[in-house]
Amino acid sequence: CIQHTLKNEGFFTFYQGLSIPLVGSAVEASVLFCLYQNAAEIITNGKTRNDLTLPQSVLAGLIAGTGTAFVLTPVELIKCRLQVQQKGTAKLYNGPLDCIRQTVRSDGLSGLYRGFFSTLAREVPANGAWFGVYEAGCRILGNARCSAEAPGYVQLISGALAGCAYWAVPYPIDTIKSELQTMTKKSTFT
């Protein structure tokens, strides 16, 4: 598959649709951590994330995941559509901005949010798992919360475990989301 794609479509086809996710991931991370911190302050009545219990950390992650769905849905819609269009046939889109323009023209602004509920269903549990496992890992491995007081190796291992938890929980939902976002407008599930 890799050799066939490389030969027929070129090296840069592996990066099709990357510009939107790069920008989107920066915005998504900003929203995620801002919402997580704000949720932590609300949950702990004005204290910081370092004062969260593990269940509270999961709850703050669930809340933060809700906000990221608003950023990620259009980003991933554009990324998925650009990734599935094939070279060698008539291209549907001439890049991310053209994909956005065509989507809005044919489906309205709400068309950019196709797959929103499946993105929401992915992001909420995924981020709850991510923050919960990260904090649990730091506390188990380093007997400390994940802040400057935890050794680097504890944060590294906890981050790796959190990343695994993030994808292990919602992966089936992500598959459905990607299918929804790349279907033609007239397509339906049967």
For the chain, state the CA radius of gyration: 19
Mean pLDDT of 106-118: 93
* Confidence (pLDDT) at 170: 84
According to DSSP H, which parts of the chain are helical? 2-9, 19-43, 54-84, 96-107, 116-142, 152-168, 171-182
What pLDDT sits at residue 17?
60
- pLDDT (tens digit, 9 = 90+) per residue, 39-94? 999 999 988 777 889 999 999 999 999 999 999 999 989 888 887 876 666 788 88
Instruction: Say yes or no to pLDDT of 187 above 60.
Output: no
Q: What is the number of other CB atoms lying within 10 angstroms of the CB of residue 3?
A: 7
Digit-coded pLDDT (tens) for 128-173:
999 999 999 988 887 766 666 778 898 899 999 999 999 998 888 8
* pLDDT given at position 190: 33
pTM, full prediction: 0.78
